[in-house]
């Protein structure tokens, strides 16, 4: 290995690492912005600077009770049964 090649390799790797870190920060900022948009909230200034990653917003919806889930499931099954009945009637004629 020629003299000085090792030093040039570490310099090149250091520069590549720095470039990747800058790119990573830019990507993390974009992710934070998208998470904020999905949550329907504006991006805080701290998240834009990259110092804080925005957490996804909670939906704010109450969980359904077991009885409510059963009612919804029964109604959906009824709709599908009617749909299948119409398809069978259309296929028969």
- Say what the pLDDT of residue 17 is: 92
Closest CA to 30 of 46, 47, 17: 47
Instruction: Indicate whether 2 and 30 sit together in one domain.
Output: yes
* Domain residue limits at 77: 62-93
Total domain count, the chain: 2
Do 2 and 40 fall into the same domain?
Answer: yes
Q: Are residues 17 and 51 in the same domain?
A: yes
pLDDT in tens, 2-26: 555 777 788 889 999 999 999 999 9
In the chain, the percentage of residues whose pLDDT exceeds 70 is 75
Decide if 32 contacts 43 (C-beta within 8 A): yes
Asked if residue 38 has pLDDT above 60, the reply is: yes
The mean of the pLDDT values for the chain is: 83
Neighbours of 1 (CB within 10 A): 6
What pLDDT, on the 0 to 100 scale, is given for residue 8? 78
pTM over 0.95: no
Residue 53 and residue 67 share a domain: no
Decide: 20 and 38 in contact? Cβ < 8 Å. no
Tell me, yes or no, whether 34 and 73 share the same domain.
Answer: no
């Amino acid at each position: 290995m020629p003299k000085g090649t090792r030093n040039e390799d570490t310099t090149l790797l250091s520069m590549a690492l720095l470039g990747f870190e800058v790119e990573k920060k830019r990507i993390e900022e974009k992710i934070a912005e998208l998470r904020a948009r999905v949550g329907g909230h504006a991006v805080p200034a701290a998240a834009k600077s990259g110092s804080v990653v925005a957490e996804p917003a909670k939906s704010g919806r109450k969980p359904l009770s077991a009885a409510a889930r059963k009612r919804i499931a029964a109604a959906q099954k009824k709709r599908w049964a009617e749909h299948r009945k119409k398809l069978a009637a259309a296929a028969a004629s």
